[in-house]
Chains A and B, each alone.
Chain A
C-alpha cells in the first residue's frame, strides 16, 4: 500500500464534516428530501440508516475475501436488503407510528446509495473494526445532516419543533410561518440554500488555505 492508512479516529470522523454524505457527497438524496418535513422522522430515518449501515458494513467486511469480484454488487444488495427487512420488522413492532410516517422510504433504504456506496468504497477493502467505525461515522454524519435540514423546515414552516409527541418547542407565531417549507417543494429550497452556504464556507477556507 503506497499511502499510509488513515488512523481509526480519522475513519470515524470523516463522515461528520469532510466527507459528510448529505452536504458534500450528495449520497442518499431521496430520503434526505423526503423525510425532512419533521425533526422526528429525520431522526428516525437516521437511526434506521445507522443500523443498516453499521451491520451491513460489518458483514461485508467479514465476507469480503470470500466474495468473487464479478458478483459482489448483487451479494452486497442481498446483505443490505436482509438488514432493511429486519429493520422494517423491528420498527413496525416497536415504533409503528414512526414506521408509518416513513412509509415506503423505510424499505427504500435498500437503494440508498450511501449504504451501497460505503460497502463498495470502504467495507469491501477494509477490516471489520474500521468498517464498523466508518459506518457509524457516516451514519452519524447523515443523521446530523438530515436533522439540520428538518430543523429549519419544521421551525420555519410550522413554527414549532415536536419530538415524540410530548416535547414541543413553540417559537414562531402562526402569522409568520412559511408553510411552503414543509410542503414537498420546500425541501428543495431549504436544501439548496444550505448547500450553497456550506459551499461558501468551504470556498473561503480553501482561499485562506492558499494564502497561508
Chain B
C-alpha cells in the first residue's frame, strides 16, 4: 500500500516535468513526434530507475560511512555519465533494433536534469521528494527510493508522450507567427500542469 502511494504520488501528483520542472529541455525539444517522444520516455525510464539504484547504494555505502557527502554532486554526475555510456555500449552490442530506436537519445540523457535531480532527491533530502519520501524525516529505504524513481520516470514518459500527441495535432492549425514553436508549447504545458495539479487532491 505504501509503495502504491509513493508510485501514484511520483507519477501524477509530483509529476517530474509539470510540477518539479526537471528535464524540460528534452521535454520541449524531443516532443514534436509521438515516436521519438515514446523512445525518449523509454530511455529515460530505464536510465533514471537504474542510475537512482546505483546512486542510492553508492551514497549510503561509500559516501556516508566516509563522511564525504559533500562530494555527492560530482560522484553522481560521474556515475550517471559512465552508466549512460555503458548502457549505450551494451545496447549497441546486443540489440540493433533497440539501439536504432534509443541510440540518439542516450547521450542526451546525461544532461537531463531529471536523472541527477531524482538521484539527489532520494539521498541528500532534496526538495522534490520531501512530501512523498521524507515526510517523517526518515531517509527512504532502498526499495522506497527505487519505487519513487520508477514512478517519477514513468510520469515523465507518460507526460512527454501525451504532450507530443497534442503537439502533432497542433501542427494542423494556423497559429500566429510569434506564438509558433516554443511559446504555444509552453501554453500547452501550462494547461496540462493545471490538469495534473488536480491530482493533488487525491493524496
- A residues at B contact (CB < 8 Å): 26-27, 29-31, 33-34, 74, 77-78, 81-82, 84-85, 88-89, 103-105, 107-108, 110-113, 116, 180, 183-189, 191-193, 195-197, 199-200, 203
Of A89, A104, A187, most B-chain CB atoms within 10 Å: A104
- Which one of B21, B73, B121 lies within 8 Å of A84 (CB-CB)? B73
With a cutoff of 8 Å between Cβ atoms, the chain B residues found around residue A81 in the complex are: 73-74, 77-78
- Which one of A85, A188, A199 lies within 8 Å of B73 (CB-CB)? A85
Tell me how far the C-beta of B189 lies from the nearest C-beta in chain A, rounded to whole angstroms: 4
- B residues at A contact (CB < 8 Å): 18-25, 28, 70-74, 77-78, 81, 110-113, 116-117, 120-121, 124, 126-128, 176-179, 182-187, 189-190, 193-194, 197
- Which one of B25, B110, B178, B190 lies within 8 Å of A186 (CB-CB)? B190
CB <8 Å contact, A185 and B77: no
> What separation, in Å, do the CA atoms of A30 and B20 have in the docked complex?
9
CB <8 Å contact, B186 and A110: no
Contact A111:B112 (CB < 8 A) given known A74-B81, A189-B187: yes
> What separation, in Å, do the CA atoms of A105 and B77 have in the docked complex?
14
CB <8 Å contact, B77 and A195: no
With a cutoff of 8 Å between Cβ atoms, the chain B residues found around residue A78 in the complex are: 74, 78
Tell me how far the C-beta of B81 lies from the nearest C-beta in chain A, rounded to whole angstroms: 6
> What separation, in Å, do the CA atoms of A112 and B177 have in the docked complex?
29
With a cutoff of 8 Å between Cβ atoms, the chain A residues found around residue B25 in the complex are: 26-27, 29-30, 113
Can you list 23 A-B contacts (CB < 8 A)? A26-B28, A26-B182, A27-B25, A30-B22, A33-B24, A78-B74, A78-B78, A82-B74, A103-B126, A104-B120, A107-B124, A111-B77, A111-B110, A111-B113, A116-B111, A184-B21, A185-B18, A192-B185, A192-B186, A193-B187, A195-B183, A199-B178, A199-B179
CB <8 Å contact, B24 and A77: no
With a cutoff of 8 Å between Cβ atoms, the chain A residues found around residue B78 in the complex are: 74, 77-78, 81
Tell me how far the C-beta of B133 lies from the nearest C-beta in chain A, rounded to whole angstroms: 13
